[in-house]
A and B are shown apart, each in its own frame.
Chain A
Amino acid sequence: MTSVKVHNATRRFGSFVALDDVTFSLSAGITGLLGPNGAGKTTLLRVLATVAATDAGSIELLGRDPRNAQSRVDIRRRLGYLPQEPGFHREFTAFEFVDYVAILKEMVDRKARHDEVRRVLAAVGLANEMKKRIRNMSGGMRRRVGIAQALLGSPELLILDEPTAGLDPEQRLRFRELLTARRGHTVVLSTHQTDDIAALCQRVIVLLEGRVRFDGTPPELAALAHGRVWNALERDPTAQLAWVTGDGMVRHLGTPPAGADAVPPAIEDGYLTLVGSLHALSSAPEN
């Protein structure tokens, strides 16, 4: 069943076009949103989380129109959202904060609500840090508190803006497990980590300058660079895009340098092919 429909959505901030005629639809499964900073990812996710509006086009979330006040409440009852910069009541403990959000999500019964708060905090590995004040927490821990509150009530639509930012590798692994268990619901996440996409997503959408430039599976994105990825010992000065990898080889994207070996493309190669400019490399993942 289609849970998210975005049709010709456009959003401008002054002369800056954050979303430019964006159209796609999503059903159950995990979808990754890739794109350089300023490509419109956060604006799009805020629209999907019913906290931002579009100037033109139509949005349908869980079969409802977020522009209608009552439908918006219905959508919000089934929605979890991790903002890119979730603010916190810093003097609250992790438990108190998530409990507060649970009240905002209309969980009235104290016992059931507390059980749910403990469940989501345990799911992000904060079972033993529930009583820690948020102002004393590291960035990674705060991000996990943010993920925990988004999971409250097992929402059908989960919107996560850069959920893995600030998480260490072990925590990222645990986060992936957490999400994989939710494949039955619709999850949309933005990330700068192409390996998150490879590990998690059944679908990837690449947003460039407010437009959808790719919409398909992760292997399809990688396949965009098919026959265009080469490993060489030396950097080819004429190369369109080349960088040194961990094993000392120089990975080239584009036309083959002399004596280079063709390499099977990764998602990152597909993404970079799409971005196709050095400007984009500066904001691309650096692994």
Chain B
Amino acid sequence: MNTEWHASDQMLIEYSNVHCDVSTAYSIEAHLERCQGCRGTLARLSGSRPEHAEEIWNRIADVIDRPNPPVLAGCLMRLGMPEPWALLTAATRAMSAAWVGLQILLIGGAVALARLGAGPNAFTPFLFFAPILPAVGVVVAYHPRFDPAAEITACSPMAGAKLGLTRIVAVLSVTLSLLFAGSLIVGHGWITLTWILPTLAVAGATLVVVTLIGAEQASLVVVVLWVTTWFTLYVLRSPQGRFVNLVNDGFLGERQWLWAGACLVMGAVVYVRRDRFELALELQRQGMS
């Protein structure tokens, strides 16, 4: 090829304005692939606005700089969750492998007891302990100790009910799914699902306690209340039967209506007190309103 040939300025201007005949265009195109000089001339003459090139560059930079979302956030986004919420959920410590693993261990233990033990009573430990998990989970979701950037989080506009409840929903859905999977493995039919309403009610109660005294002691208070209530009832009613019978009585039959009522009440209280959700620990405790 004749390397002495170069496109004239006039040709390049016409070419960049898409205003030249086909054969000239072909010549220029074949030439431009090989000639840095003419490419530079074209860039100078083309009359395109630098801001335009800059804008496209920004778009390129945005795509190549964009970090890959964490695996969990990516899954949530594929399920249709908007990107910001998916990222927030994925950054929640309560979604961490440690907390999920601990729950799998505990639920697995209760499932093993139920499978190995004989009779429907073998399922009682599962029923009794299931509501404790979300009570602890709520605090894992809410307590600043489980948020490495707690102080920065606390002063953000999301730090009220928005972020708190996002995290709590995330934590509860994991816990409830695990419990549900556990009860399917146990497989005693409907009886094994009687934990659902009590568990939701206890989760709601924990949230209410959080709005009253802050996240710091909320789960401790709820768990202690849960255990002592049952043992008090047992002591009051003894020696009529075994503890497992009491628990079974408390969960089964028309008692489920009581639990459903408790869920509604707790839900309503949480809704009324939604303004009191606050991630800044001190403000939780001080009960600012």
Contacts and interface: CB of A to CB of B under 8 A. Distances in A.
Given A53-B288, A87-B151, A104 B159 contact: yes
A76 B289 contact: no
Interface in A54-107: 67-70, 72-73, 76-77, 79, 81, 83, 85-90, 93, 95-97, 99-101, 103-106
Contacts of A76: 155-157, 159
Contacts of B58: 115
B191 to A, nearest CB: 42
A32 B154 CA distance: 23
Given A110-B83, A111-B62, A51 B151 contact: yes
- Give the 3 A-B residue pairs with the shortest CB-CB distance, closest first: A104-B156, A83-B151, A69-B275
B106 interface: no
Contacts of B156: 76, 101, 104-105
A258 interface: no
A120 to B, nearest CB: 13
B66 A69 contact: no
Of B151, B159, B275, most A-chain CB atoms within 10 Å:
B151
Nearest to A131: B67
B107 to A, nearest CB: 27
B272 interface: no
B160 interface: yes
Contacts of B66: 110, 114
Nearest to A73: B157
Interface residues on B, range: 35 or more
Contacts, number: 108
Interface of B: 58-59, 61-62, 65-67, 82-84, 87-88, 91, 147-160, 163, 275-276, 278, 280, 282-283, 286, 288-289
A130 B65 contact: yes
Q: Is the interface of B mostly helix, strand, loop or mixed?
A: helix
A49 interface: yes
Contacts of A118: 61, 65
Contacts of A99: 67, 87
Given A86-B152, A88-B149, A89-B149, A106 B62 contact: no
Given A104-B152, A104-B158, 12 more contacts: A49-B155, A51-B155, A51-B282, A53-B288, A69-B275, A76-B156, A79-B155, A86-B149, A87-B147, A100-B149, A103-B84, A108-B84
Given A86-B152, A104-B158, A108-B84, A95 B65 contact: yes
A83 B276 CA distance: 23
A52 B286 CA distance: 9
Contact of A81 (B147, B152, B158, B278): B152
Contact of B152 (A77, A90, A101, A131): A101
Interface of A: 46, 49-53, 67-70, 72-73, 76-77, 79, 81, 83, 85-90, 93, 95-97, 99-101, 103-106, 108, 110-111, 114-115, 118, 130-131, 146, 149
A87 B152 contact: yes
Nearest to B284: A53
A52 B155 contact: no
Contacts of B150: 87
Contacts of A73: 157, 160
B68 to A, nearest CB: 10
